[in-house]
Amino acid sequence: MSWRLANSLVALREQVNAMAPGRSTASDGTIGDQSHATRPSRHNPNGAGVVCALDITDDPAGGCPVHDLAEQVRANPHPDLAYVISARRIAGRSTGWNWHEYTGANPHVQHAHFGVGEGPDASPAQPYDDTQAWPIAGSPGGNGNAAVNIETPRTLRKGSSGEDVRGLQLVLIGASLLAPGGADGVFGPVTEAAVREFQGVLGVAQDGVVGPKTHAAISNLLAFLAAGGGQ
């Protein structure tokens, strides 16, 4: 079938190519192969024939430290961006743009995956054609290491506050366990009750505390939801 790449990703690729004209494209990817066709993936054309995923090769020596670029995009997301997978991490709308460990089979070390559009991997919908500039800036010869380290997420419980709490609340909203608009960054009794219910779904102890086991279960769920991306 005929297909095209989402215009926002065409813009991203053009920016990267202008920034690093001699970069390697060995791990670049757009439309998926036969293995992608067997599962939901943004690498498969949607109903309008649009591919909503782009893999960009990590080539620091060639001026494209893509994991650094992924961090820049995560920190200041393009309006069409759904999620980014980079060096064993995933961040997206559903995580409040906080990094979570990515446990999919492909660690995305040789490239980063950028997925655009709203909705599931099986049928992403607009917006994905916004051609405004992406917030990226490379440095030829950079080593790409700055964005690769994964910090251990802190334990969240009633009384906690901050952007990581807001990210958790956005995950709970996405799971229909917290009312839309409830992401205020404060871990109160309503959030605690939602966490307990979510823990039951995840199969971990329903103690209302988001510790290592709950963080890991959330990460595994996010990896599953993005399982079609870049693999």
pLDDT tens-digit series, residues 78-124 = 999 999 999 988 888 777 788 887 877 788 999 999 999 988 888 99
pLDDT tens-digit series, residues 123-176 = 999 999 999 999 998 654 444 444 445 556 789 999 999 888 988 898 898 888
For residue 90, list its beta bridge partners: 85, 100
**Alpha carbon distance 29, 26 (integer Å):** 9
**pTM confidence score:** 0.72
- Taking each helix axis as running N to C, give the angle between helix 163-174 and helix 212-225, from 0 to 180 degrees, rounded to the nearest 10: 50
- Number of Cα atoms under 13 Å in the Cβ half of residue 174: 18
pLDDT tens-digit series, residues 36-52 = 788 888 999 999 999 99
For residue 115, list its beta bridge partners: 53, 83
Dmax of the chain from CA atoms?
Answer: 54
